[in-house]
Amino acid sequence: MFDDEEQSFTVSETELTDYLHDVEPSFAALLKIVYQESLIVLDVSDLGFDVSVQIGVFRKLSSDPDEPSFTRWENDIDKALYMSGFAAQAITNSALHPLDPRIDLTEADVNSILDYTLSDKVQFSFPIEFTLGGEEIVYNFDSTNLFVRMNDDVLSIHLTMTLSKEGMAGAFEMQFNLESIVSMNQNGDMVLTISNANIGEVNLDNDTLSSLFALFDESLMVDNTIVIPSEDLNEMFAGSGIIINDSYVVDGILRLHFGLDQ
């Protein structure tokens, strides 16, 4: 909004995040946290004013987990080959446990499936360009894809982001972390009950998380849970010949109880 009398231009949080959402939703999500945590600093003096963003609190912690090693599928053939072996294992397990067939997925398995399913829907590369003192300044804001770690009965989701300046070595690294307990509801949806979430030193409460996830899908988060609809879940395993009816993490593996798709 432009004020003729004050000769000022005001952009609200909603206006700016809505605009950035069309350019890059993940950047808009990070900016929303900057607003909510009051990390924008305005310094006014006789010489004018400076605007700065205190992003140091977002720095990746030494305790943050790294992305695990896993095989990235390049195309549908890679997925079909994996699901063919998965289907054979499911049939064998059905014979061994006819009353309650189940199959276990390792971290590598889960990350292969998640990485291929998400493709480039979350991962981003976003240039930030401006002119300062006649010099063209270019920063690059990049991320990994979402990746998963599993420990004991906890499934955690992570997204590593880097901010780098062209022509300068090194980068500022941040990481989104979310810990959850996995279960299924009566509709066959996978439910991730959130126990903790943070970026660096900033802890993210449910209201903040809800507003972040709403930038991608308004129906994704319900109360303190992330709900993955049964149709989306079974689409991830298309070609395996199974229908998942229960899931949870135990001893660092994702255990799926299933029925055969007749």
% pLDDT > 70, the chain: 77
pLDDT one-digit tens code per residue, 93-142: 888 888 889 999 999 999 999 999 988 888 888 787 777 677 787 888 88
In this prediction the pTM is: 0.79
Q: Are residues 135 and 93 in the same domain?
A: yes
Is there a single domain that holds both residue 98 and residue 217?
yes
pLDDT in tens, 172-186: 898 999 999 999 999
88 and 43 together in one domain: no
Within a domain: 6: yes
Domain-located, residue 100: yes
Q: Is the pLDDT of residue 30 over 70?
A: no
User: pLDDT-derived band of residue 24, with 50, 70 and 90 as boundaries?
Assistant: low
* Four-point Cα dihedral 90, 91, 94, 100, nearest 10: 30
Contact between residue 230 and residue 187 where contact means Cβ atoms under 8 Å apart = yes
Whether the pLDDT of residue 243 is over 60: the answer is yes
Residue 129 to residue 148: CA distance in whole angstroms = 32
- Indicate whether 92 and 28 sit together in one domain: no
Query: Are 241 and 138 members of one domain?
Result: yes
Residue 64 covered by a domain: no
Residues 54 and 140 in one domain: no
Residue 124 domain boundaries: 76-260
Which pLDDT does position 195 carry in this prediction? Answer: 96
Determine the Cα–Cα distance for residues 18 and 20; give it in Å rounded to an integer.
6
Most confident range, picked from 16-20, 33-37, 95-99, 114-118 = 114-118
Among candidates 116, 120, 122, which has minimal Cα distance to 73? Answer: 116
* Cβ density class 43-56: b for 16+ within 10 Å, e for less: eeeeeeeeeeeebe
Residues 6+ apart with CB under 8 A from 69: 108
Euclidean distance between CA atoms 8 and 11, whole angstroms: 10
Question: Is residue 180 within 8 Å of residue 173, measured between CB atoms?
Answer: no
Per-residue pLDDT, 9: 36
Structural domain count, the chain: 2
Residue 63 pLDDT greater than 90, yes or no = yes
141 and 245: one domain? yes
For residues 105 and 233, state if they share a domain. yes
Tokens matching residue 95: 């014979």
Same domain, 8 and 118: no
171 and 113 in a common domain:
yes
Higher pLDDT, 217 or 224: 224
User: Do 54 and 81 fall into the same domain?
Assistant: no
Kindly state whether residues 35 and 109 are assigned to the same domain.
no
Bridge partners of residue 249, in order along the sequence:
254
Beta strand pairing call for 242-250 and 253-260: antiparallel
